[in-house]
Amino acid sequence: MSHRPDMQEEVVVVTGAGGMGEAIARRIGTGRRLLLADYSDHALQRAVQALDESGYAVTGVVTDVSDRASVDRLAKAAADAGRLVAVVHTAGVSAATATLEQVLAVDLVGTAHVIDAFEEVAAPGLVLVCIASMAGHYAQLTGQQERELATTPAGELRDLPVVQALADPMQAYILAKRANQVRVQAAALAWNLRGARVNTVSPGVISTAMAKAEAASASGSHMLGMLDACGIGRMGSTGELAEAVAFLVGPGSRYVTGTDLLVDGGQAAWIRHHMPVP
Ligand SMILES: NC(=O)c1ccc[n+]([C@@H]2O[C@H](COP(=O)([O-])OP(=O)(O)OC[C@H]3O[C@@H](n4cnc5c(N)ncnc54)[C@H](O)[C@@H]3O)[C@@H](O)[C@H]2O)c1
């Protein structure tokens, strides 16, 4: 069936057509126009077909979040499609499978692009949720380094001394995810002035292709061991993560902005207060 344009129709954007992206699209996309964005045409077509077969009004938009012009095109398409009410940014790469440069381009700079590009089209009521990571809670940065990560223009982030000093993809991932958290804190002012909100969700280990690749990597057994040690004894499901996102894009969180919601089964709390010190 063809879609009739309707400027009163609510529009939701989800970047990343992976495990979290599809679950979030299913949770918050009902009765709305969904724009699903990914740089992988294959991942996009698979998720669009699955959502379409389930009755969602979904359009795939090939987008590379590491390219600001590409994100600008997505933001414009969303604003032109109706009343943009939610953007959930899940597109990302993992330290287990990406290079240091890819982690910086996608997880650090790409997230900054999404915050900046959608601020420009934000109308009252828009909510942006960026998926960061529990890893961001482990970053050991000075206040000055955090302020620089929070406010330096996206195109200059790679030039910061703290970024130049990174030695491997895991260090880059931890820094990028902390940067996501502090960038939404700093962005909350501009979004508030537009009547819009911006937050991060920091997942622990959520059962997606990314988590399974990490579980199979060199640090996988350590990661799974921590899930047992902290008492939760399992990965989180994509549905549980989608519930947290649904709260942040819904009416029950209208006073929540510029903050992070940790969804990790208690892992970060265990690491902070109970992990044996070597
Ligand atoms: N799964 C976990 O346990 C976990 C834990 C903490 C944080 N996260 C974060 O959650 C987010 C979603 O992860 P997931 O588990 O759904 O992973 P996933 O691999 O299932 O999906 C990620 C998607 O992002 C897309 N992508 C990668 N680079 C892109 C780019 N430049 N432009 C557009 N799309 C791009 C990929 O093609 C993929 O479809 C990521 O930011 C990840 O770092 C995941």
Along the 278 residues of the chain, how does pLDDT read in single tens digits? Answer: 555 657 789 999 999 999 999 999 999 999 999 999 999 999 999 999 999 999 999 999 999 999 999 999 999 999 999 999 999 999 999 999 999 999 999 999 999 999 999 999 999 999 999 999 999 999 999 999 999 999 999 999 999 999 999 999 999 999 999 999 999 999 999 999 999 999 999 999 999 999 999 899 888 899 899 999 999 999 999 999 999 999 999 999 999 999 999 999 999 999 999 999 87
216 inside domain: yes
106 inside domain: yes
37 inside domain: yes
* Look-up of token digits 């997880």: 107
CB-based burial of residue 102 (10 Å sphere; 0-12 exposed, 13-18 middle, 19+ buried)? Answer: middle
Query: Under DSSP, is residue 35 helix (H, G, I), strand (E, B) or coil?
Result: strand
Ligand 1 atom closest to 134 (CA): 6
Q: What is the pLDDT of residue 1?
A: 54
Helix 169-193 to helix 143-151 angle (10° resolution) is 60
Q: What is the pLDDT of residue 278?
A: 77
Catalytic residues: 173, 177
Distance 215 CA to ligand 1 centre (A): 15
Which residues span the domain enclosing 71?
10-266
pTM check: above 0.95: yes
Q: Which of 105, 78, 99 is nearest to 15 (CA)?
A: 78
272 inside domain: no
276 inside domain: no
Longest dimension (CA), the chain: 62
Do the Cβ atoms of 25 and 36 come closer than 8 Å? yes
Name the closest-CA residue to atom 34, ligand 1. Answer: 38
Q: Which residues contact 48 (CB under 8 A, 6 or more apart)?
A: 17, 36, 58, 59, 60
Ligand 1 atom closest to 235 (CA): 3
1 inside domain: no
How many Cα atoms within 13 Å fall on the side-chain side of residue 139? 28
Segment (H or E) for 7? none
Do the Cβ atoms of 175 and 162 come closer than 8 Å? yes
Residue 5 is which amino acid? P
180 lines ligand 1 (CB under 6 A): no
Name the closest-CA residue to atom 28, ligand 1. Answer: 92
226 lines ligand 1 (CB under 6 A): no
205 lines ligand 1 (CB under 6 A): yes
5 inside domain: no
How many Cα atoms within 13 Å fall on the side-chain side of residue 87? 32
What are the Cα distances from residue 45, in Å, to 16, 23, 52, 126? Answer: 12, 15, 10, 27
Instruction: Report the number of distinct structural domains present in the chain.
Output: 1
What CATH number is given to the structural domain containing 227?
3.40.50.720
Looking at residue 206, the DSSP 8-state letter turns out to be: B
131 lines ligand 1 (CB under 6 A): yes
Task: List, in sequence order, every residue forming a beta bridge with 58; answer none if it has no partner.
Answer: 34
271 inside domain: no
Q: What is the pLDDT of residue 161?
A: 98
211 lines ligand 1 (CB under 6 A): yes
Ligand 1 atom closest to 214 (CA): 3
